[in-house]
Chains A and B, each alone.
Chain A
Amino acid sequence: MATVAQRISILLTLAGASLRSEFQYRANAVSAVISGMIYQLTGFIAVWIIVARFNEIGGWSLAEITFLYGMRLTSHGIFYACFSQLFEADRVMVTGEYDRYLLRPMPPLLQLFTRKLRVNCFGDLIGGLLLLGFASAGVDVAWSPQTVFYLVLAVTGGALVEGAVQIMLGSLSFRFLQTMSLRVTVNEVFNLYGNYPFTIFPKALEYLLTFALPVAFVAFFPASVVLEREDGLHVAPWLAVIAPLVGVGLFLVALRVWRRQSRHYQSSGH
């Protein structure tokens, strides 16, 4: 088995290769990035129109909601950049492509991740960072190196939360093969409900989207911490602060689940 350093270097090589292959068709790649960005920003414009018309939603100002939306979108961009191929897990298993992964001296999951890069993730990333940039000037936060550092951790942690959930759902494919619509639905729940302050949700939903499906940990919790809006939290503030750690923890659990479930893989033959 390769050392960690070797593994990382192989990983970077593979990631570079998929990036290069996407940009073989430069115009197409650029238009995918731009349309991805516009797509996400239009979603935001809808929210912006509503908040601008009604001044605030659930006690959160336009700048605060923009900040939350930007954090979530940036996390989602990182998630999509690293893990978009989880959405192809069904096909990889049905066609027996997974056989090849088993033969190579790299963890199969890493090979799945680096299979192909979806360039529209850069649209999410750029869009998210733009929103964060605009909002950070408007929100009432005393920016310090610590807050910026926490923000970076939080955004990464958010990507890990989404990644963990999708890895766990993806591992169901080993048994059931067709789990695509389930994964898309869960992804949509993150996309729809992750962008708003939980203060607009009924109590039961708040808990559901915290403990049953960890949507709150992606952006709402860390955003509340950065914006010092812990007043509206439905859980103890410390739980919100450790959101990035929860991301790491969930991710490690997800890796175990994947390894466990992969024992059920039945090759379709090549």
Chain B
Amino acid sequence: MTLARNLDALVAYGRMATRRMYIYRFNVIMMIVLTGITIYLLTLLWKAAYGDRTEVDGIPLQSMLVYLTIANLQLRFLSPEMDQDIQERIREGQIGFDLNRPVGYPGQLVAGAAGQMIGLLPMLVVAVPIAFVAGELRPPASVEEGFAYLASLVLAWLVAVQMNLLIGLVSFWTLEMTGFRMMYRLIGNFATGALIPLWFMPDLLRSIVQLLPFQAIAFVPVSIYVGEPATGGIWSALALQAFWAVVMVLVIQLVWRRAFRHTVIQGG
């Protein structure tokens, strides 16, 4: 099996990605502070929206605040930036080196993203207290939901990484990605449900968002955490995420094969 043979190489990629990220330590901290600032604003905004009510549409204010806090905190840890890497490698013509390596390019990228994510975990020591002060943190609704949340988090990461990879692969066709990436980011901001959970979206918008994979990144796991699973049950919620994770694997295989044939190595 190639995976076993390449494991050492993949682990090395992951380590490298972690190290690269911590060259800009200050940026990492600032991003977490920024997340805290965002969580605090959302908390104030939703508190004001609830006003004197303690519950709206069956969602208690406290669950809502915990939802916002966890969703935005975890989004910070589930925001891979492979798309920019891919674009840069192609622009500089270095993609040729990447493709020549015995480990497949998508594998290198996912390993890098995993390394970044694992490397970011110690930052929880800073991030959780900040989120606690800025927002509202409570333990999960029950032990069962806590474990389901952890499983859901892994699936969320898989979906997030693969979607980011897919967007990055577009660079194989065009390098003018600024507008495109912006669109992706803003649809993503919305459709993950980190600002407005799907419960409170207008019907039309919700039915569109429910057809997209973004919800698997924030809404599905966090709704499990607060005990209001998106699809009504924990298992069906996890199945929905798993469905998207598998769909993305297939789509990426398809796109990658075409992208590979389409590779243009600029100079290099």
Contacts and interface: CB of A to CB of B under 8 A. Distances in A.
Contacts of B48: 57-58, 199-200
Interface in B185-217: 186, 189-190, 195-196, 200-202, 205
Interface in A49-68: 49-54, 57-58
Contacts, number: 78
A35 B182 contact: yes
A35 B179 contact: yes
B44 interface: yes
B34 A54 contact: no
A260 B196 CA distance: 46
B179 A34 contact: yes
Interface stretch (B25-33, B149-157, B164-172, B233-241): B25-33
Given A184-B30, A188-B34, A32 B45 contact: no
B49 interface: yes
B47 interface: yes
B179 A50 contact: no
A49 B49 contact: no
B64 to A, nearest CB: 11
B176 interface: yes
A185 interface: yes
Nearest to A42: B186
Contacts of B41: 192-193, 196
B38 A192 contact: yes
B56 to A, nearest CB: 8
- Main secondary structure on A side of the interface with B: helix
B37 A189 contact: yes
Q: Of B33, B34, B49, which is in contact with the most chain A CB atoms at under 10 Å from its CB?
A: B49
Interface in A167-187: 178, 181-182, 184-185
Contacts of A134: none
B200 A201 contact: no
Given A32-B179, A46-B190, A53 B38 contact: no
A39 B33 contact: no
B178 interface: yes
A50 B200 contact: yes
Contacts of B190: 42, 45-46
Interface in B36-82: 37-38, 41, 44-51, 56
A49 B37 contact: no
Contacts of A196: 41, 44-45
A38 interface: yes
B183 interface: yes
Contact of B179 (A31, A53, A181): A31
- Main secondary structure on B side of the interface with A: helix
A215 B129 CA distance: 26
A38 to B, nearest CB: 7
Interface in A11-56: 28, 31-32, 34-36, 38-39, 42, 45-46, 49-54
B47 A200 contact: yes
A103 B45 CA distance: 50
A205 B44 CA distance: 11
A46 B37 contact: no
A95 to B, nearest CB: 18
A101 B201 CA distance: 51
B186 A50 contact: no
A32 B205 CA distance: 25
Given A53-B49, A189-B37, A38 B183 contact: yes
Nearest to B33: A185
Contact of A49 (B26, B183, B196): B196
B131 to A, nearest CB: 16
B43 to A, nearest CB: 10
A181 B176 contact: no
9 contacts: A28-B179, A31-B179, A35-B183, A49-B205, A57-B48, A58-B48, A181-B26, A196-B44, A200-B47
Interface of B: 26-27, 30, 33-34, 37-38, 41, 44-51, 56, 176, 178-179, 182-183, 186, 189-190, 195-196, 200-202, 205
Interface of A: 28, 31-32, 34-36, 38-39, 42, 45-46, 49-54, 57-58, 178, 181-182, 184-185, 188-189, 192-193, 196, 199-202, 205
Given A36-B182, A53-B200, A188-B34, 14 more contacts: A31-B179, A39-B182, A39-B186, A42-B189, A49-B201, A50-B196, A54-B56, A181-B26, A181-B30, A182-B30, A184-B34, A192-B41, A193-B41, A205-B44
Across the A-B interface, the 5 shortest Cβ-Cβ residue pairs: A200-B48, A181-B30, A31-B179, A35-B179, A54-B49
